């Protein structure tokens, strides 16, 4: 019979900085899920107020507001589930299935006005957390993730006075910093020693980057 893996190896299976395996003194999972949902809803309200702040022709509808707030709440709930999966040290098949589901929880953030910035939500966590990649690969992915941020800055500067542009852009950075941090629980690597073949990783990363760029350009074109 093969020896059981050591405690250190089990803890390394799906390690992410800042996450420790579950123990009796940690917050229970229902509270984590409630906190994720509440945090997502709060960030959604914060984002909705930001949209009102930067708008030159503000319009308020309950349907639009609820869609935004519920979308953020769904994303927050999903990422708290991803956090719990990592904390519980789920094995790769189970964690992969959970990550697919929790990634789907991010998709509402890419709909409507959030579309142009969605590549940042996907690519920034990859560049920040995949320390197993080469430095050049992480810089390249980070550069693609930065493009939508620069696009938002350009749009704000065209429509708003300087002070309002600066405040609106900093506000945007705070919102997306929270989203990117939370998305890291889904998009960070599973450090269990397994790696896909290099060709698969290169092609997959290139396809993801191109797809994100194309989706952003298409939405930009629609808006223009």
Helix (H) and strand (E) counts for the chain? 8, 0
Which has the closest alpha carbon to 216: 134, 155, 160, 125? 155
Extract the residue ranges of the chain whose pLDDT is less than 70.
1-25, 112-114, 192-205, 207-224
By the 8 A CB rule, do 117 and 152 touch? yes
The model's pLDDT over 36-68, given as tens digits with 9 standing for 90+, comes to: 999 999 999 999 999 889 887 777 788 888 999
Q: What is the pLDDT of residue 59?
A: 74
Token pair recorded at residue 91: 């094995």
Task: For 139-149, write each residue's pLDDT tens digit.
Answer: 988 988 888 89
Whole-number pLDDT of residue 144: 86
Instruction: Please say whether the beta carbons of 219 and 116 come within 8 A.
Output: yes
């Amino acid at each position: 019979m093969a020896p059981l893996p050591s405690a250190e190896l089990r803890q390394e299976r799906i390690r992410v900085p800042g996450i420790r395996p579950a123990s009796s003194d940690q917050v229970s999972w229902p509270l984590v899920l409630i906190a994720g949902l509440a945090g997502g809803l709060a960030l959604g309200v914060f984002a909705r107020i930001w949209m009102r702040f930067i708008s030159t022709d503000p319009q308020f509808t309950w349907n639009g507001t609820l869609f935004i707030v519920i979308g953020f709440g769904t994303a927050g709930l999903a990422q708290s589930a991803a956090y719990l999966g990592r904390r519980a040290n789920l094995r790769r098949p189970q964690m992969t299935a959970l990550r697919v589901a929790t990634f789907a929880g991010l998709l509402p953030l890419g709909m409507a006005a959030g579309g142009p910035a969605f590549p940042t939500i996907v690519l920034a966590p990859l560049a920040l957390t995949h320390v197993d990649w080469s430095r050049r690969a992480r810089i390249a992915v980070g550069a693609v993730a930065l493009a939508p941020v620069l696009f938002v800055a350009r749009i704000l500067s065209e429509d708003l006075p300087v002070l309002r542009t600066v405040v609106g852009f900093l506000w945007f950075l705070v919102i997306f910093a929270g989203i990117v941090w939370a998305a890291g629980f889904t998009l960070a690597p599973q450090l269990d020693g397994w790696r896909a073949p290099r060709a698969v990783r290169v092609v997959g990363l290139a396809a993801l980057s191109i797809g994100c760029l194309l989706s952003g350009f298409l939405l930009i074109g629609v808006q223009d």
